[in-house]
Amino acid sequence: MILQRQLDWRTDLIAWAEAVRGESYEWGRTDCGALARTAVRAMFGQDLVPFLAWGTEAEAARVLEEVGGIAGVLLGLGAVPCTRNFLNSGAIIVEPVNEDGFTPVLVYVEPVVVTSHPTTGVRWYTRDHLEESVTGYNLWEAKLADG
């Protein structure tokens, strides 16, 4: 089954970004993976990846290893990989592992990028701050298993 983004997905995505801005970091609620999950829910009107749920860092690591990471999940849904210059609003961005051992996941809500970190919470910054080597995943329609 192919599921399209909601007709008013841009409005819902912007409202989502405004609602989470400034929130403190919390595993399963505002960590970067949870932000990607809820952003996708805002665009599609339903939770496409209910299995991406956790409450601790250890649970997140276990779940993400089992499903091949955020990038693997997005590819399974039919997302199209792209470079920084070809991001569309709503793209999920996966950065390389950083010095803290995290694999940052961000959401592009044109013209800002929404991300979260344990020390700063949820914050916004411009796309220009992204490394050119990041991989974004544009997901305009989702391929869901029938059933």
Question: ω before 96 within 30° of 0 (cis)?
Answer: no
Task: Please say whether the structural domain 2-143 has been given the CATH code 3.90.1720.10.
Answer: yes
Pairing of strands 112-117, 2-4: unpaired
- Check residues 147 and 83 and name the one with the higher pLDDT: 83
- Model confidence at 83, pLDDT cuts 50, 70, 90, reads very high
C-alpha–C-alpha distance, residues 139 and 5, integer Å: 9
Specify whether the CB–CB gap between 16 and 38 falls below 8 A: yes
Does residue 92 register a pLDDT over 80?
A: yes
pLDDT at 133: 83
pLDDT at 50: 87
Does residue 147 register a pLDDT over 60?
A: no
Lowest mean pLDDT, pick from 24-28, 89-93, 131-135: 131-135
Token pair 């701050």 in the structure block, residue: 129
Lowest mean pLDDT, pick from 17-21, 54-58, 123-127, 142-146: 142-146
- Average pLDDT in the chain: 92
Using DSSP, state whether 30 is helix, strand or coil.
coil
**Domain map (residue ranges) of the chain:** 2-143
Q: Which among 123, 134, 142, 131 has a CA at the least distance from the CA of 74?
A: 142
pLDDT at 56: 95
pLDDT at 102: 76
